[in-house]
Structure 1
């Protein structure tokens, strides 16, 4: 599995030292920085330009930029309600590749005064002929997934908030790594804040749905 890390930090010096472009990859790294007296926005994010299917490419890029636009709007609206405390928003993105399966995992960090929150989303797809994004519910049986997650959480009550967890959200961020589904939860969602954005791994063969192989040639019809 390949992992491309795009880490945005609030320091301009670190931003200048960050890698700019993976020439061999399918995407370019873009940056957005905006500083006012009410907020700071610092974001690095990927935009794909070498996917096989251009319709899929547009969907992926639109999903990424729409998420960022939504966060920008929240920051600017929230600045009116903070009584002078500036809002710091920064975004870090990881791009995971498991053969032709790609996941863009985007983590939004918001700081207002002494409050710190982190939320995670993902854009998942296969780089092939099909133009569909692959949300979690399209990949796995959600009922089986919930049983597996409950089992894992119950085994470690010192780490996880066993009573707080109800079920896995259908829009929970995820990626694939070495035949495992890796769920990435929001901060405070299943564990105390000290654990950041917790990850839970589950073998794919326990939970995955049967899916058509996008690279398999169709069987010709007989006359």
Structure 2
């Protein structure tokens, strides 16, 4: 339960949540002899204290601007310092609007969950006769690249979510890397390092760990994932790992620097007109779904989501799954009848996600109401799903 591990919701499993991503080429040397010096260089973002946000409506270059969206708690049980970045100046305004929706949705979801947790903790403290000290939630950001300089066109944004109940917290770092073009695109590690980016990064990270094995949990490093978080900064890529994942907490959020070729140019990928807005059709047989005790149809989450073109990322710590397709994003949590997409407020669909026979199921209304696909029930129990 979240209550026993109040920071689980802030761990990166999937993706954290990085929905728009990218990476680099040769690990830079770490200078200094002490562990503290290593932490200063290796740790891309110091996480033991809240970060300072970019001031409201700062002009980052003649085109790109960021305006803070301030969120506050509706309960005195939770103190907040939440500044959600909202970008203007991207050439692709539709992509920009969707990205801003994602950023705001993430923050609203975190705020709602921490308000619930703080309210429960306050009630427990009162019932036990203890003094309750308000929980705290801080969300800050940093623009690492504004699309100018060594890697023209690549906008790189880092958002840090830090919750505190007292003692050491578990920050979550989400990164977003976008090619600022007429048709904006996600920038990936493959765009920056080539098709063998995993081998390149894994070898570089392992070499750095071997230099100072006492600073890391070497056995816990299993290689990077397809959705590894990173940001671009001054002609380098910094590949990030969650706090405690491969190093002690004193190392914060470990980051490994990779240099990029000085002449690297990330070019827009040509649009495939034959794949524009394809119609996706899926048929679920009667055996694929079931009705719960309230008669609500439950369908397999991953099977449906992947058939509709979404990438699925499971986080065992929070027992939640995230979906993303381009800039479209949403998530579901086992046991919580609360669903949302983009700017919409969480809605109840009558049933929470459940795991049955090692498969995650969600209400059929999730497909129609949240993913906006057309759903039709056949006479033989077959469910027809179509999305254009």
TM-score, structure 1 length as denominator? 0.75
Alignment map for 1:59-98 (pairs within 5 Å): 59-79=98-118, 82=121, 83-84=124-125, 86-97=134-145, 98=147
Q: Distance in 1 between matches of 2:190 and 2:120?
A: 36
Higher RCO (CA-CA < 8 Å; seq separation 6+):
2
1:163-218 superposed Cα distances (whole Å, 9 cap, x missing partner): 2222223333211123321113222122211222222101235xxxx9862399xx
Q: Determine the structure 1 residue equivalent to 2:204.
A: 148
In the comparison of the two structures, how many residue pairs are matched?
199
Determine which structure has more spread, i.e. the larger CA radius of gyration: 2
Counterpart secondary structure, 1:123:
strand
Residue 224 (structure 2) pairs with residue 185 (structure 1): no
Counterpart secondary structure, 2:218:
coil
Q: Distance in 2 between matches of 1:73 and 1:34?
A: 8
Residue 250 (structure 2) pairs with residue 201 (structure 1): no
Alignment map for 1:167-186 (pairs within 5 Å): 167-186=223-242
Q: 221, 225, 229: which one pairs with 1:165?
A: 221
1:94-144 superposed Cα distances (whole Å, 9 cap, x missing partner): 012252211110111111133411111111101112232234466442233
Contact residue 89 and residue 109 of structure 1 kept, 8 A = yes
Contact residue 135 and residue 165 of structure 2 kept, 8 A = yes
Counterpart secondary structure, 1:60:
helix
Q: Distance in 2 between matches of 1:150 and 1:79?
A: 40
TM-score, structure 2 length as denominator? 0.46
Q: Distance in 2 between matches of 1:164 and 1:33?
A: 37
Q: Distance in 2 between matches of 1:177 and 1:49?
A: 20
Contact residue 30 and residue 46 of structure 1 kept, 8 A = yes
Distance 1:58 1:138, change over 3 A: farther
Distance 1:41 1:172, change over 3 A: farther
Gaps of 5+ in 1: 1-8, 217-223
